[in-house]
């Protein structure tokens, strides 16, 4: 696939950028609509998006560059060339999560309520964003003879970006179902997203050929395990706290 969507004189427009931008716009629209339904100040939510989004992108790029520093050492322009691909979702979540927490404290908003509002948008954005990997011919898997293999980089391979797209759409559907039930403890939709996404990422990562590594370990798999454990513990603790409040 040609990663370039359009060339206008010296201006190059990449499919990766178009797809990521579309994911951001759709995710923001869904979050703003849900915020309005829940009576949350949409102007404050928009401010949060405008703050957390660039911080998240910076975090995603910084995370990727740090773990691939040998490819970027001494070349600052290459470090910031996100249109060439190379955004790590865990770095993006860390940056966006941190910026969001600080902003909600300053703006007197409920952090966990907003986390629940954004969770479906985040995972839907991730699903759409994986098609950027398709156009850039990255984030693919090992050679295989399975009937759904895709021809990438000279061989038929596991289309791991497609696997994650399908998994994330499924997680998106589950989160919307949880939201409709309305019997969850505030924060559980976001924590369920963290667990479900991490489960899928752990298994899909095992098929990839371009995993970031910490020694012999795949970084994404290690972080996925940590997230699953921490998020599961957080659900237990928050339910326990909510139960104790009900008895008071």
| pLDDT at residue 85, as a whole number | 66
| pLDDT at residue 247, as a whole number | 45
| pLDDT at residue 171, as a whole number | 98
pLDDT for residue 65 is more than 80 = yes
Q: What is the C-alpha to C-alpha distance for residues 199 and 72, in angstroms, rounded to an integer?
A: 30
Provide DSSP, 28-91: HHHHHHHHHHTT--HHHHHHHHHHHHHHHHHHHHHHHHHHTHHHHTT-HHHHT-GGGS---HHH
Closest among 132, 118, 124 to 49, alpha carbons compared:
118
Specify the pairing of strand 213-214 against strand 217-218: antiparallel
Average pLDDT over every residue of 72-82? 77
Q: What is the pLDDT of residues 209-232, one digit of tens each?
A: 888 888 788 989 999 999 999 999
pLDDT for residue 78 is more than 50 = yes
Better-predicted residue by pLDDT, 112 or 61? 112
**pLDDT exceeding 70 applies to what percent of the chain?**
97
pLDDT for residue 34 is more than 90 = yes
End-to-end CA distance of the chain: 61
pLDDT for residue 248 is more than 60 = no
Average pLDDT over every residue of 69-74? 76
Average pLDDT over every residue of 142-154? 92
């Amino acid at each position: 696939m040609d990663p370039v969507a359009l060339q206008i004189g010296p201006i190059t427009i990449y499919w990766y950028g178009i797809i990521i931008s579309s994911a951001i716009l759709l995710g923001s629209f869904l979050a703003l609509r849900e915020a309005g339904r829940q009576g949350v100040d949409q102007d404050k939510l928009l401010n949060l998006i405008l703050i957390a989004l660039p911080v998240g992108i910076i975090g995603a790029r910084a995370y990727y560059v740090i773990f691939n520093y040998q490819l970027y050492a001494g070349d600052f322009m290459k470090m910031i060339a996100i249109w060439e691909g190379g955004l790590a979702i865990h770095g993006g979540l860390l940056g966006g999560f941190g910026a969001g927490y600080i902003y909600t404290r300053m703006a007197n908003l409920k952090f966990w309520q907003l986390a629940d509002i954004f969770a479906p948008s985040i995972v839907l954005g991730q699903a759409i964003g994986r098609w950027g990997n398709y156009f850039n011919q990255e984030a693919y898997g090992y050679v295989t003879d399975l009937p759904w293999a895709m021809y990438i980089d000279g061989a038929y391979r596991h289309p791991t970006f497609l696997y994650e797209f399908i998994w994330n759409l499924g997680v998106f559907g589950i989160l919307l179902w949880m939201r409709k039930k309305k019997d969850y403890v505030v924060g559980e939709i976001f924590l369920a997203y963290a667990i479900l996404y991490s489960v899928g990422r752990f298994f899909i990562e095992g098929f990839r050929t371009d995993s970031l590594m910490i020694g012999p370990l795949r970084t994404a798999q290690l972080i996925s395990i940590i997230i699953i454990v921490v998020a599961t513990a957080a659900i237990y603790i928050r339910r326990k706290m909510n139960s104790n409040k009900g008895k008071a």
